[in-house]
Amino acid sequence: NMDPFKDEFLLATEIVISAGQYVRSAAKSQSQASESKECYADLVTEYDQKVEKMLMSAISEKFADHKFIAEEMSADGNSAAFTDEPTWIIDPIDGTTNFVHGFPAFAISVGFFHLQEPVFGIVYDIPNDKMYSAVKGKGAFCNGRLMKCSPTTELQEALIATEYGSQREPNFLKFKIDTMAKIVEKCHGIRSLGCATLNIIQVAMGTADAYYEFGPHIWDFAAAHLIALEAGAVCSAPNGGKMDLCSRKLMVCSTKELRDQLTPLIDDYQLARDC
Ligand code: LIP
């Protein structure tokens, strides 16, 4: 039920658009300085940190007792506390590597949860100025237009999105590449936007038919998975089990039939949980 959190939704939309404009003007000045986090391929810029602070302080000003799970505040590797309290789950820039290189696929992601259930999700595609949003039970919208995922039921006719990710452990990469090899043999193709959020949005738009990934964090999924659900997608674990937002694994399929054809091709991989 959205109405009790209407003010939160309006505030979120407003601050995400203004933060997005700020990042877009920075993105024009070509490549961005970055530092690496856990691995040389896991990047952060001053904009990730600034945008996270901007969003969190605007929210705290109005809703002093709300909780946060956000990418840069979690950069110390400590696990996040995900409680029943009203909780904002924020990725200030999803697709930081793209932002650093000027590759036009990066987004601000804000999900709002209560009782650990999603209430609304907002994804703002910064370079393309597209606002995606969903309120639980009320449909998914792109710049005000209703979104609907594809009716594809055959893997042979499907376009699948997944990612190499930002970790470089050889075993983990081998697992990912082996899995992709099994899948690409059976489908139209595999795509990697370098932005988990926007991959999920492609499924919600019907421009891709499924997405799965091992390694992203709760802030990469929180908002986008609700948008996909509201567009008619099926969210699960990559093995077909129940979706677990803290597990760092997710699969989003346009239909159950696709899910059932993909899961036998995807083994499990153990990852440290987010929460
Ligand atoms: C990134 C994702 C990307 C995924 C990486 C990473 P960041 O998020 O969107 O698709 O493969 O593992 O999580 O660090 O740019 O917010």
Please state the φ and ψ torsions of residue 89, each to the nearest 5 degrees: -115, 115
Question: How far away, in angstroms, is 24 Cα from ligand 1 center?
Answer: 19
Q: Are 252 and 211 in contact (CB under 8 A)?
A: yes
How many H-runs (helices) and E-runs (strands) does the chain carry?
Answer: 7, 14
Query: Which residues are known to be catalytic?
Result: 71, 91, 93-94, 96, 220
pLDDT digits (tens, 9 = 90+) for 131-187: 999 999 999 999 999 999 999 999 999 999 999 999 999 999 999 999 999 999 999
Q: Which residues does the annotation place in the binding site for Mg(2+)?
A: 71, 91, 93-94, 220
Average pLDDT, the chain: 95
Residue of 53, 266, 92, 60 whose CA lies nearest to 179: 266
DSSP assignment of 5-45 equals GHHHHHHHHHHHHHHHHHHHHHHHSSSPP-EESSSTTSEE-
In angstroms, the CA 34 to CA 115 distance is: 36
Domains of the chain listed by start with CATH number? 3-146 (3.30.540.10), 155-265 (3.40.190.80)
Cα–Cα dist 192/45, whole Å: 22
Which of 168, 214, 220 is the pocket-test mutation for ligand 1 (most atoms within 8 Å of CB)?
Answer: 220
pLDDT greater at residue 20 or residue 32: 20
Q: How many CB atoms lie within 10 A of CB 97?
A: 17
Task: Give the H or E element holding residue 181.
Answer: helix 170-184
ipTM, two decimals? 0.94
- According to DSSP, residue 246 is labeled T
The answer, yes or no, to whether any atom of ligand 1 lies below 6 A from the CB of 90, is no
Q: Which element (helix H / strand E) includes 122? A: strand 117-125
User: Running DSSP on this structure, what letter comes out for residue 194?
Assistant: S
Which residue, judged by its Cα, is nearest atom 5 of ligand 1?
165
Question: Which helix H or strand E contains 188, and what residues bound it?
Answer: none
Q: Please tell me the distance from the alpha carbon of residue 178 to that of residue 162, in angstroms, as a whole number.
A: 13
Ligand 1 centroid – CA 95 distance (Å):
5
Atom of ligand 1 nearest to the CA of 42: 14
Q: How confident is the model at residue 29 (pLDDT cuts 50, 70, 90)?
A: low
Please choose, from the candidates 242, 207, 2, the residue with its C-alpha nearest in 3D space to the C-alpha of residue 122.
Answer: 2
SS3 229: helix
Predicted local distance difference test score (pLDDT) of residue 159:
99
Q: Dump pLDDT digits (tens) for 221-265.
A: 999 999 999 999 999 999 999 999 999 999 999 999 999 999 999
List C-alpha distances in Å: 110 to 20, 51, 218, 227, 245: 12, 12, 11, 11, 14
Q: Mapping DSSP to helix (H, G, I), strand (E, B) and coil, where does residue 224 land? A: helix
Helix (H, G, I), strand (E, B) or coil at 65: coil
- Residue 78's pLDDT is 72
The Cα–Cα gap between 201 and 216 comes to 15
